C-alpha cells in the first residue's frame, strides 16, 4: 500500500526500504524489527525533502507509529494484532440527548442554542451553569451509530465512541475531579464508574451496567466555558477524537477569550439561534489542519488521526 501511495504521489519515484526483517536477524527479540513490525524507509531518489510527506503517506497506509529516526530516513511500525486503531468519527452526541439548562430545565441537544447555560463542572469540582459558547460540531441531518451506555442510576447515555468521558477511580471518594481520568467512550467497560448529577448541584458516582450500540439522528458537540457538560445526566468532556483533553482545552482558549470579551462589552450574551447545518466549526477545522500540517512536518502521527479501541 505504501509503495503504491509513494508512486502515485511522486511519479517515477519508488519506496526504498533500507532496514526491515532479515532471516539472519541482528536485532534483539524485543525489537520491532525482529518481530517484523518495523521498517526504515526513504524514497528511491534519496531526497530528504520528501521525508515529511513520506511519513504522512505511511500513516495513511496504516502504520501506527511514524517518526524520524535520523535525518536520512523514516521509521514506521505497526502494533501487534491484538491492538488496532481506527480513524476518528467525531459524532459527539445525538440530537435526542438531553442537557439541563438554567433557563428552561431539560432540553434536547437539537434544541440547544448558543448562549444557553447548561450544567457543567468547575475546576474545583463544584457544579455550575456554564454558557454554550459555540458548537464544535452541529449537523441536524446525519444519522450515525452511537454507544448506548446503561448507567446504574437508570440513565442511558448516547455518545459517540471517540468522545471523551470521565471515568472515576473506584478506590477514592474524591468528587472534585482529582480521582478521574478522561477515556474514550469506546474504552468504557461494565463496572466502570462515572460521574452523574444528583439533583441540580450535587454530583455522585454511578456504575456502567452495560454498553450497546444505537443509531440516532444528529451530531452535536456543544462547547462550554468549563470544557465539559452533563449530557443525559452524565459528566462528559467537550472534546473528541484525541486523548489529550488538556491540549484540546488550551487550544480553545481564543474562543473562550472572545466570548468573555464579548460578554463584557454587551453585558450579557443571551441565547442566539445557532446555524441549522454547519457541520464542523471553522476554528476546530483549522486546528485539525494545523495539527495535521505540524505532524507531517515533524514526521509523527497527528494526535487527531487515530484513537485506540479495545
- Gap between the Cα atoms of 190 and 96, Å rounded: 23
pLDDT tens track for 137-169: 888 888 999 999 999 999 999 999 989 999 998
Q: Which CATH number is associated with domain 1-79? A: 3.30.1380.10
pLDDT value for 285: 66
Q: How many CB atoms lie within 10 A of CB 138?
A: 25
Q: Which residues of the chain have pLDDT under 70?
A: 20-37, 64, 68-70, 79-91, 174-178, 266-278, 280-310
* pTM, full prediction: 0.64
pLDDT tens track for 104-123: 999 999 999 989 999 999 98
Paired residues of 134 in beta bridges: 223
pLDDT tens track for 171-199: 777 655 557 899 999 889 999 999 999 88
pLDDT value for 32: 42
CA torsion through residues 97, 88, 165, 245, sign: negative
- Please give the CATH architecture assigned to the domain spanning 92-245: Beta Complex (2.170)
- What does 128-187 look like in DSSP terms, one character per residue? EEEEEEEEEEEEEEEEEEEEEEEETTS-EEEE-TTEEEEEE-TT----SSTTEEEEEGGG
- Gap between the Cα atoms of 280 and 287, Å rounded: 11
pLDDT value for 283: 66
pLDDT value for 102: 93
For the chain, how far is it from start to end, CA to CA, in angstroms? 25
Nearest to 226 by CA among 184, 265, 259: 259
Amino acid at each position: 500500500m505504501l509503495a503504491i501511495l509513494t508512486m502515485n504521489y511522486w511519479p517515477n519515484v519508488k519506496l526504498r526500504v533500507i532496514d526491515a526483517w532479515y532471516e539472519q536477524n541482528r536485532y534483539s527479540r524485543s525489537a520491532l524489527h525482529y518481530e517484523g513490525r518495523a521498517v526504515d524507509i526513504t524514497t528511491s531518489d534519496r531526497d530528504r525533502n520528501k521525508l515529511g510527506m513520506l511519513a504522512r503517506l505511511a500513516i495513511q497506509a496504516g502504520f501506527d507509529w511514524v517518526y524520524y529516526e535520523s535525518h536520512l530516513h523514516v521509521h514506521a511500525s505497526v502494533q501487534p494484532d491484538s491492538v488496532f486503531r481506527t480513524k476518528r468519527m467525531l459524532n459527539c452526541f445525538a440530537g435526542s440527548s438531553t442537557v439541563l439548562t438554567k433557563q428552561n430545565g431539560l432540553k434536547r441537544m437539537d434544541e440547544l442554542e448558543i448562549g444557553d447555560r447548561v450544567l457543567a463542572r468547575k475546576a474545583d469540582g463544584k457544579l455550575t451553569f456554564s454558557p454554550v459558547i459555540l458548537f464544535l460540531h452541529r449537523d441536524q441531518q446525519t444519522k450515525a451509530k452511537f454507544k448506548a451506555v446503561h448507567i446504574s442510576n437508570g440513565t442511558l447515555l448516547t455518545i459517540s465512541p471517540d468522545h471523551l468521558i470521565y471515568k472515576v477511580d473506584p478506590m477514592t471518594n474524591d468528587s472534585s475531579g482529582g480521582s478521574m481520568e478522561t477515556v474514550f467512550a469506546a474504552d468504557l467497560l461494565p463496572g466502570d464508574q462515572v460521574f452523574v448529577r444528583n439533583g441540580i448541584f450535587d454530583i455522585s458516582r454511578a456504575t456502567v451496567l452495560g454498553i450497546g450500540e444505537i443509531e440516532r439522528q444528529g451530531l452535536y458537540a456543544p462547547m462550554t466555558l468549563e470544557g465539559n457538560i452533563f449530557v443525559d445526566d452524565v459528566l462528559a468532556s467537550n472534546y473528541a477524537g484525541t486523548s489529550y483533553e488538556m491540549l484540546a482545552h488550551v487550544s480553545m482558549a481564543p474562543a473562550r477569550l472572545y466570548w468573555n470579551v464579548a460578554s463584557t462589552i454587551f453585558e450579557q450574551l443571551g441565547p442566539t439561534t445557532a446555524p441549522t447545518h454547519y457541520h464542523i466549526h471553522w476554528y476546530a477545522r483549522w486546528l485539525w489542519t494545523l495539527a495535521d500540517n505540524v505532524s507531517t512536518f515533524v514526521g509523527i502521527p497527528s494526535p487527531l488521526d487515530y484513537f485506540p479501541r479495545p
